[in-house]
Amino acid sequence: MALILALETSSTICSVALYQNQEFLALTELQLEKSHSSHTTVIISQLLENCGLTLQDLSAVAVSGGPGSYTGLRIGSAMAKGLCYSLDIPLIEISTLHALAYSLIQVTPNPENYLYCPMLDARRMEVYSCVLNSDLQELLPVSPIILTNKSFEDFTSQNPVIFLGSGADKFQKLIENSSQALFNSKVSLSAKPVGALAYHKYINQQFEDVAYYEPFYLKEVYITASNKS
């Protein structure tokens, strides 16, 4: 039996889920900005206690690996690495964008009829995005994209594409007349799909190196010097 703890901290949502193999057991989420560092450990403890389990029962920890908030990703990866190191259990990384798309694919009738374009808002007209089929195969790799009314035209000219995530709204305003571009604003980031996708990696032993693992920031972190004298 594999008991997998899943963490999603790549956005303002602090989300923790628990899976036994592929069976979903429990989920706790806190939608409070800047809550990750102070609340994640508490949420994990309470979730395990509510399920009658302890940290020592865990078989692996899965973490949403990015792209996303630099601060959120750092906190989530540090938390996951600390648990894995202290408990001597494997660390599993799940793409934030893949997990987001998976949430929608699971509830879409005939999901194979569509392509999926999860988008995370990266400010101004930039998004972090990719294009996936219903099997989560990347037709366009994860990358930063400056949106125009021609973005993703190669895909929407041939297939219906569902755009989702925090960056989808601003793209919708650019291509309001495209019948092949569909939008879903109801799907949000969560640890639940992270845990669901983690089991396949667990049984195939697709683990990260706990000592050297870093989140997929996608772009370098830019730190400016203070102007205060």
- CATH number of the domain at 76, please: 3.30.420.40
- Domain assignment present for 220: no
Q: How confident is the model at residue 226 (pLDDT cuts 50, 70, 90)?
A: very low
What is the total count of domains within the chain? 2
pLDDT value for 66: 94
**Could you tell me the residue range of the domain that residue 16 belongs to?**
3-95+189-203
Same domain as 198, residue 145: no
pLDDT value for 35: 61
d(C-alpha 27, C-alpha 97), whole Å: 19
Mean pLDDT of the 25-50 span:
85
Mean pLDDT of the 115-141 span:
96
* Mean pLDDT computed over every residue of the chain: 92
Same domain as 32, residue 60: yes
d(C-alpha 3, C-alpha 61), whole Å: 9
Same domain as 152, residue 89: no
Mean pLDDT of the 54-71 span:
96
78-85, Cβ contacts within 8 angstroms, sequence gap of 24 or more: 79/7, 79/9, 79/40, 79/41, 79/44, 80/7, 81/210, 81/213, 83/5, 83/55, 83/58, 84/60, 84/210, 85/210, 85/211
Locate tokens 């929407």: which residue? 156
Same domain as 144, residue 134: yes
By three-state DSSP, how is residue 211 classified? coil
- Domain assignment present for 214: no
- Domain assignment present for 145: yes
Task: Identify which of 28, 38, 22 has the alpha carbon closest to the alpha carbon of residue 8.
Answer: 28
Which stretches of 25-121 are DSSP H helices?
36-50, 70-87, 96-105
Q: How confident is the model at residue 224 (pLDDT cuts 50, 70, 90)?
A: very low
pLDDT value for 198: 98
pLDDT value for 179: 86
- Secondary structure (DSSP) of 174-206: T-TT-TTEEEE-S----HHHHHHHHHHHHHTT-
Same domain as 197, residue 85: yes
pLDDT value for 105: 98
DSSP H or E stretch at residue 225: none
Which range (21-30, 144-153, 173-182) has the least confidence? 173-182
Same domain as 90, residue 104: no
Other C-beta atoms within 10 Å of 136: how many? 16
- Domain assignment present for 211: no
Locate tokens 């899976």: which residue? 19
pLDDT tens digits, 104-126: 999 999 999 999 999 999 988 99
Check pLDDT > 50 for residue 225: no
Q: How confident is the model at residue 218 (pLDDT cuts 50, 70, 90)?
A: confident
pLDDT value for 12: 85
* 51 touches 18 (CB < 8 A): yes
Check pLDDT > 60 for residue 92: yes
- Domain assignment present for 161: yes
